[in-house]
Amino acid sequence: MRAADLHRIISFLTAQERPPVSPVHQDCSRAERVTFTEYCPYEISEYLGYDAIAIHQGEALSVNVSRGGMLLLMDQSPPVQQVFEIQVPVSTTGKTPGLVEVCWTRQIPIEDSESRYLVGVKFLFDPHACS
C-alpha cells in the first residue's frame, strides 16, 4: 500500500463516525481504544468440503486496540463470526499468534481499483498474558 493511500485512509478514519453496524459482541464497542499502527500477519482457513481447506494469508494493518479487540484494515472482508489466527505484537521481542473473531466489517472507499475493509475483531485470547 502506498503512503498516500495510507494517509487518505487514516484521514477517512478520523473524519468518520463509528461504523453504522451492530457488533456481535456489544462489549467490544464500549472498550477504551488506543491508537496502534502495526502490520499483523494473519491466516484464515476456509473449509471447502471433504478433505479440502483453503488457507488465505495476508497482512492486516492495525488501526487501534482495546483490551478486548482491535480494529484492522484488511484487503478482504471476512464474514462476521469468522475466527482466524493473527500475529499480534505484544512486546518489543516479537509477535504472538492468537485467535480473533470478526465482529463487523465495513468497506472503505479508496481511489485505486483495490477494495479495503475495516474489520473489528474480538480477541479470543488475552494478549496481555503473552507479554
Amino acid at residue number 118:
L
pLDDT tens figures, 83-92: 999 998 765 5
Residue 9 has a pLDDT of 60
User: DSSP label at 130?
Assistant: G
What is the total count of domains within the chain?
1
Residue-wise pLDDT tens digits, 25-78? 445 556 688 888 899 999 999 888 888 888 999 999 999 998 899 999 999 999
Q: What is the CATH number of the domain that holds 100?
A: 2.40.10.220
* Nine cell digits for residue 46: 476456509
Mean pLDDT over 110-125 rounds to 86
Q: Which residues does residue 99 pair with via DSSP β-bridges, in sequence order? A: 85
What is 4-15 written as a DSSP string?
A: HHHHHHHHHHHH
Closest Cα to residue 117, out of 95, 127, 102? 102
Cell numbers found for residue 129: 498474558
pLDDT at 109: 79
CA 21 from centroid of its chain's CA atoms? 16
94 or 46, greater pLDDT: 46
* Residue 38 belongs to domain spanning: 3-130
